[in-house]
């Protein structure tokens, strides 16, 4: 094997026994391990962050089951390439011969038409699809295709697994084992890898290759120094990715449109997926603006839809408009605080019985038992409101939603005070 091959490729596991992490899937009794050992696997979507083994796992499955293996990358492949693979797979399938495996990396980048082209082949068993995505497949994979696939979630590697990978690389890699490498400090290596095995190997190789002589000491300072010199290697999915999205979110929350649009530009120039940003704006609109400006959520949803339709470079204008609008809006997290408080109350109080007056009463017996008795239909009363009991008796009168100080919620508070006399005088 050539020495100029990246360390991450040289250390790629070849079997489930060598595979590190994802024990919930491939550990003893894990669903994927059991299916591989049984010789049968369904079409599936592997969902997880970069560098956790999605591609490796697909290769191992194909090798173990001795299936023909095709790889397409969504960034560089279109409908034609998909159809070519389907045609080849069809020619290889005879009677009870297991279907070839088609692995599609970054399947979330496939258009609807590209995903549609897979449906018949997956449904008829011409091939077994393994798609890899870093994005939520519920948003990015069309429903007909998603319904034909199992979805398995992969998680970032923890500290123990990353340290194990470092140890294995120093002991097993044909290049590194010839060098006396002493990892005196590992915090920076682990921190900047962000649970990503590929980034960990890249960073180890970067630091090791920059040193001269037969003995190399790796410290946190050296790692940070080399990282600064080679920041392009770690801009999108490492620590800087999380720092920049954090800066973006906090700029919008902090009502600074200038900072927000600057960090937006940084993400777009760094190659961030526009749909990822659009989803963050949806969350921001609900969590940080909320009822202070309910139109913000409508704006964010329209942005999300428009970004899907247009794509780059035009999507940057739509994202800029939404970012500035949200950053300039009044802020409230009352809806977020209310559901958090309600969730905690549910955990503390358990399954409290539903009050009889608001229970469903579809049968005569239920009505005789008092279900729905004394329920007051709000629309039969002046102003479409009449006081009633809507919480279990044990927590009656609990205030979970507290309007905050902004014009919209000021109106809501006055309305609630008028309706629920005495309840909202806090």
Domain of residue 114, CATH code = 3.40.50.300
- Nearest Cα to Cα of residue 81 among 50, 111, 54, 49: 111
- The DSSP line for 273-322 is -HHHHHHHHHHHIIIIIGGG-THHHHHHHHHHHHHHHH-TTTHHHHHHHH
- Rounded to an integer, the average pLDDT of 150-160 is 91
pTM above 0.75, yes or no: no
pLDDT tier at 4 (50, 70, 90 boundaries)? low
Q: Report yes or no on 14 lying in a domain.
A: no
Q: Answer yes or no: do 185 and 75 share one domain.
A: no
Q: Answer yes or no: do 52 and 132 share one domain.
A: yes
- Nearest Cα to Cα of residue 48 among 25, 14, 75, 19: 25
Residue finishing a domain among 153, 176, 210: 153
Number of compact structural domains in the chain:
4
Q: Is the pLDDT confidence value at 292 over 90?
A: yes
Q: Answer yes or no: do 227 and 260 share one domain.
A: no
Structural Rg of the chain based on CA atoms: 28
β-strand partners of 130: 44, 103
3-state secondary structure (DSSP) of residue 60: helix
Q: Answer yes or no: do 265 and 220 share one domain.
A: no
Q: What is the CATH number of the domain that holds 300?
A: 1.20.272.10
Q: What is the CATH number of the domain that holds 163?
A: 1.10.8.60
Tokens of 230: 């080679």
Long-range contacts of the stretch 413-422 (C-beta < 8 A, 24+): 419/385, 419/387, 420/387
pLDDT of residue 359: 85
Q: Mind listing the pLDDT tens digit for each residue in 31-71?
A: 999 999 988 899 999 998 888 899 999 999 999 999 989 99
Q: Answer yes or no: do 35 and 138 share one domain.
A: yes
β-strand partners of 47: 133, 153
Q: Answer yes or no: do 361 and 253 share one domain.
A: no
Q: Mind listing the pLDDT tens digit for each residue in 165-209?
A: 999 988 888 888 878 888 888 888 888 787 888 888 888 888 887
Q: Answer yes or no: do 253 and 146 share one domain.
A: no
3-state secondary structure (DSSP) of residue 70: strand
pLDDT tier at 109 (50, 70, 90 boundaries)? confident
Angstrom CA distances, 328 to 189, 286, 290, 299, stand at: 39, 15, 13, 13
Mean of per-residue pLDDT scores for the chain: 86
- The DSSP line for 91-156 is HH--TTPPPPEEEEETGGGS-HHHHHHHHHHHHTTSSEEEEEESS-HHHHS-HHHHTTSEEEE---
Structural domain containing residue 67: 21-153
Peptide bond into 14 cis (omega under 30): no
Say which DSSP state 72 is in.
E
pLDDT of residue 234: 40
Measured distance CA(420)–CA(423) in Å, rounded:
6
Q: Answer yes or no: do 276 and 394 share one domain.
A: no
């Amino acid at each position: 094997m050539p020495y100029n091959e990246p360390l991450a490729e040289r250390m790629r596991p070849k079997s489930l026994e060598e595979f590190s992490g994802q024990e919930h899937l491939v550990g003893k009794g894990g669903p994927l391990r059991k299916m591989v050992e049984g010789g049968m696997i369904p079409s599936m979507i592997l969902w997880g962050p970069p560098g956790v083994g999605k591609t490796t796992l697909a290769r191992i499955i194909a090798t173990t089951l001795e299936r023909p293996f095709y790889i397409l990358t969504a960034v560089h492949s279109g409908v034609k390439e998909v159809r070519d693979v389907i045609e080849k797979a069809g020619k290889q399938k005879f009677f009870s011969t297991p279907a070839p495996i088609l692995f599609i990396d970054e399947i979330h980048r496939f258009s609807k038409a590209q995903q549609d082209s897979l449906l018949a082949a997956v449904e008829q068993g011409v091939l077994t699809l393994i798609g890899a995505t870093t994005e939520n497949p519920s948003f990015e994979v069309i429903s007909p295709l998603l319904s034909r696939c199992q979805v398995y979630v992969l998680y970032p590697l923890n500290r123990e697994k990353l340290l194990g990978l470092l140890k294995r690389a120093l002991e097993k890699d044909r290049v590194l084992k010839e060098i006396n490498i002493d990892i005196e400090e590992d915090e920076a290596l682990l921190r900047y890898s962000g649970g990503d095995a590929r980034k960990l190997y890249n960073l180890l190789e970067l630091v090791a290759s920059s040193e001269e002589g037969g003995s190399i000491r790796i410290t946190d300072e050296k790692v940070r120094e080399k990282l600064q010199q080679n920041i392009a290697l770690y801009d999108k999915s490492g620590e800087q990715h999380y720092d920049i999205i954090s800066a973006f979110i906090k700029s919008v929350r902090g009502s600074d449109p200038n900072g927000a649009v600057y960090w937006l530009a940084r993400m777009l120039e760094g190659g961030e997926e526009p749909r990822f940003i659009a989803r963050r704006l949806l969350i921001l609109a609900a969590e940080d603006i909320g009822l202070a400006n309910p139109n913000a959520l409508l704006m964010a949803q329209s942005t999300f839809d428009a970004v899907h339709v247009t794509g780059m470079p035009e999507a940057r204008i739509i994202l800029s408009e939404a970012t500035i609008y949200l950053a300039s809006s009044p802020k409230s997290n009352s809806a977020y605080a209310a559901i958090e408080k309600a969730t905690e109350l549910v955990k503390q109080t358990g399954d409290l019985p539903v009050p009889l007056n608001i229970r469903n009463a579809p049968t005569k017996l239920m009505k005789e038992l008092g279900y729905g008795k004394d329920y007051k239909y709000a629309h039969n009363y002046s102003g479409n409101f009449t006081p009633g009991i809507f919480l279990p008796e044990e927590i009656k009168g609990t205030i979970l939603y507290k309007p905050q100080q902004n014009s919209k919620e000021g109106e809501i508070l006055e309305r609630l005070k008028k309706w629920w006399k005495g309840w909202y005088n806090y």
